[in-house]
Amino acid sequence: MDVVVIQMLVFLAILFLVVGLNAVIRREDVTLPGTKPLMFRVFHSEVGTLGKMTGPWADHTFPVQTRQLRNDLIAGALPLESADVRGMQGFSGAVLAAVTCLMIFMLSMNWAYAFLGGILFGLTAWYYPVAWVGRKAMERKNKMSKSMPYAIDLITVAMEAGQDFGAAVRNLVNDGPHGPLRDEFGVTLRQVELGKSRIEALKAMADRIQLDEFRSLVTSVVQSSEMGASIAATLKIQAEEIRRARFHRAERQAARAPSLMLIPTALFILPAVFIIIVTPIILRAMDSGVGKYFQSGGG
């Protein structure tokens, strides 16, 4: 058995050494897109192969997750395809499951424990890339939501000064604060310059960033354009509505805080309090002879 374990360790050591040398030696600046995350660039061959193998199966088995994954990739502006994420799921799940299984077997010499541990950590590693993409999308949407009222105010002030909507957006793109919302407005401005109508470009931007407040803004701008109303006044009203919605959302999150604090209180604080209170009572009872009474069976 020891010989088998040693052989497995030597095989894994050589395998990881070869993979690492391959990632270091090959010219990533020529063969790989530099905008992809590091892990996707280092293991691009493995991820691509596993993505072709597991991608169709995972997309067919988890259709809801696949739709959410594609939306998160768009909202997060990640230079990845769903097949890349599926490939990383298979690669990270297989590697972590194998390493965990081997480590638990070396410590316990029990294949059952090793197999269960490998399955648990493998499933965790399988789910992590999807959760990572969702977290990146949520972070980017939060940044855009925070900067949206100020950006709308800049556009409104420029329009009230006599500029049209396109010129106001151009001022925001050129002189506005850096962030993902400014980048998205830059994409919208380029689409308008290439011939797409203003409404179509704004709707495409709303589909990309996937924010309800911006969809409401686009709807209001469309209605104002059709009715001939002032777009600047509409933008000012929408900016106030977005600020008010953010304030109410912060109030709801603050109201949830006491109920969320019950979980760590019940799990960590109350047991410690009970131990502190009950331990002296038990020790005094043992010193007073009650412990001997119970040990002798009450006789």
User: Radius of gyration over alpha carbons of the chain, in Å?
Assistant: 29
* pTM, full prediction: 0.73
Task: Convert the pLDDT of each residue in 237-262 to its tens digit.
Answer: 888 888 888 788 788 888 887 877 87
The confidence band for 4, taking pLDDT boundaries of 50, 70 and 90, is: low
The end-to-end CA distance of the chain, in Å, is 54
Report the C-alpha gap between 106 and 99 in whole angstroms: 11
Q: Hey, which bits of 74-172 come out as E strands?
A: none
Q: Which of 139-153, 190-204, 266-280, 283-297 has the lowest mean pLDDT?
A: 283-297
Structure tokens belonging to residue 95: 């590697």
3-state SS assignment for residue 37: coil
**DSSP letters along 57-74, please?**
HHHHH-HHHHHHHHHHHH
More confident call, 175 vs 129: 129
Q: How far is it, in rounded angstroms, from Cα 221 to Cα 215? A: 10
Mean pLDDT of 207-234: 83
For the stretch 73-83, what's the b/e string if a residue is b when 16 or more beta carbons lie within 10 angstroms of its beta carbon? bebbbbebebb
Contacts 24+ apart (CB under 8 A), 196-202: 198/165, 198/166, 198/225, 199/225
pLDDT at position 231 is 80
pLDDT number for residue 22? 61
**At 30, is the pLDDT very low, low, confident or very high (cuts 50, 70, 90)?**
very low
54-78 pLDDT, tens digit per residue, is: 888 888 888 898 999 999 999 988 8
> If you average pLDDT over residues 273-297, what whole number do you get?
72
